[in-house]
Structure 1
């Protein structure tokens, strides 16, 4: 590209850097538009990004004052030459814009435009927007070099628009993932503890008049469970690891959980654990949450009288097994437990482990999770 001075090169560089430094798309497009007007020596410049309703999601102008812009009126619609540039990938260069067959009109306060250079902003075959300059300040109208420069800046504008779209999609995906995470945490932990809390409260109420001592014990359980629910809610909302895991690790956390549920539900929960090496945060959380879900299902749905919990290390793999003697269920067709099963499988997959659920009626259910110690 010959004939471009150092000032022009710096202006192009500023536009490129504006894209690279992740400014807002509005700021990037504004930088590009200002560069475009200065580089080609135009009195006016504008840039538009269409919406899906026949208007423009972004429409920026350079070369007019705020007062002039307010007097011109609402942002234009996708009509006339502006509409043509959004459907034709070819640039438009003309000595008098009013002579173009697609020219229609402009508002009374709009400046009079003469020579005109318009460039679609494209990404492959898709037209993302348009940039145009008007009223060349030097004699002779817009040149081939002006067209080449505007094409270069339109390419940078395309990068900014595409990046903005990708950022927005990533943000939307992040929101969905966060909602899914919170929903899973609430289901896996808080719902279970609320179920136990309700049972403990009902038991305390039933014992209040005939056995004050036992009622007081149940109220102590209510207080403990309420504190745990509060901690779990806080952890779920801010994305912290389960509170019980902040102590001595999996063995201690699972033993504590089994003991508490034993006291609340009056079911024989037998825990056999041992020394477990510290795992990654993701894997420890997966094992703990799968344990909670498996216990919750056994206590709430299976009508189990005895639950066996085993935690051990075998051949470089941590194995968790939760087995109950309850009524069993159809693993393939159970709608009632679908969310819980999906959550357990998702956690196993995230931790790089394997989950197997077997159930017979009668006979009970066994949940087996395996996660690697290292790797």
Structure 2
């Protein structure tokens, strides 16, 4: 290669690497960072295929991004891969794997019929210390993947290790934010518990006063005393019901037991009661009809609903917040994109904001990442003074 061409190629490679590194430094949402790193890895090394997997802790993957595979081919490949064969090795072994022919390795298992045929394979773990957060994979070093003696080099491995280190930073940032968000939710639940306790305490105080009034009337006005005692019974029933409901609904969500719609209904009910008792916004939930989603999709919809509701309560200064959850029917205009899926809408009549300039807040970034993780779509419609609408659409199966 002539010197000028060599320098140009080197500058191009440095530019790709710089873009991947800066994506982490700019704190872009995790999916964007990982996608940039994956694309850079494929282009820097000159691989035909690239993939990045993040395990879900249950033998599959919470994220699995690919480059070099068309949407149609990805659809024909089928569900997200399990951690078997070399994928399983990468989730357990902290060392890079560089193979001239992956199919000749005894640890190789199988591929679906529509899977690209690979020979050369390079995989590098994404690690935080000794913990494996995921892995970067590259396949085939020539356009056809059948070249003689095809193999990735030591230099390719070094480049991939650099990019894997930056992927680890992005995933660690995402973990830290998730922990902070969970802490915020726990704090909010504790606050709601205190407010509900105060509401029940007020009923018990009224109950005690009514009993005292009845006692003072027993001898002189027995008819009024009986009326007061009847009111005691009603107040006692209300207090017991309020306390029982509050305790039940402040428990951690039980998606598996209650289902998505019932879990959302319970959480909205307790939030509405707590805030309305102190002059806050009314919160309502509607479901029509309930969707049937995979557990991972249920979890995404629940988390987005919680995040959107939390943001509305904190920032919107709204009088009313409405949540709706509906299955996407075959007649729906979006059924082609989200077959058998679900649509969640969180709408408030609050102060709104400029969605064009304020869409990078951590809450919105987190919701977009969750939508992306299952192949869904998050839409934000907001204007100053006109409230906010958060709409999440997720498919019925693998996105």
Contact 1:55–1:76, Cα closer than 8 Å, also in 2: yes
Within 5 Å, give how 1:202-351 maps onto structure 2. Answer: 233-234=278-279
User: Per-residue deviation at 1:178?
Assistant: 0.8
Q: Are residue 181 (structure 1) and residue 191 (structure 2) matched?
A: yes
1:233–1:59 Cα change, 3 Å: same
The structure 1 residue matched to 2:180, chosen from 170, 177, 191, is: 170
Q: Which sections of structure 1, spanning at least 5 residues, go unmatched?
A: 211-228, 241-375
1:230–1:77 Cα change, 3 Å: closer
The structure 2 residue matched to 1:35, chosen from 30, 33, 40, is: 40
Q: Are residue 141 (structure 1) and residue 151 (structure 2) matched?
A: yes
Q: Which sections of structure 2, spanning at least 5 residues, go unmatched?
A: 1-5, 225-273, 283-312, 316-399
Contact 1:45–1:132, Cα closer than 8 Å, also in 2: yes
User: Per-residue deviation at 1:200?
Assistant: 6.7
User: Per-residue deviation at 1:40?
Assistant: 0.6
Partner residue of 1:130? 135
Partner residue of 1:158? 168
Partner residue of 1:223? none
Provide the rounded CA distance (Å) in 2 between the counterparts of 1:31 and 1:198. 63
SS in 2 for 1:54: coil
SS in 1 for 2:82: coil
The structure 2 residue matched to 1:81, chosen from 78, 81, 86, is: 86
TM-score (norm 2): 0.49
User: Per-residue deviation at 1:112?
Assistant: 0.9
Count of aligned pairs between the two proteins: 221
SS in 1 for 2:115: coil
Provide the rounded CA distance (Å) in 1 between the counterparts of 2:139 and 2:185. 42
Partner residue of 2:363? none
Contact 2:275–2:281, Cα closer than 8 Å, also in 1: no
Give RMSD over aligned pairs: 3.4
1:5–1:230 Cα change, 3 Å: closer
1:136–1:231 Cα change, 3 Å: closer
User: Per-residue deviation at 1:235?
Assistant: 5.7
Provide the rounded CA distance (Å) in 2 between the counterparts of 1:143 and 1:61. 21
User: Per-residue deviation at 1:137?
Assistant: 2.8
> What are the superposed Cα offsets for residues 76-131 of structure 1, whole Å, 9 maximum, x if unpaired?
11111111111111111122111222112211111111111111111111111111
User: Per-residue deviation at 1:71?
Assistant: 1.0
1:83–1:154 Cα change, 3 Å: same
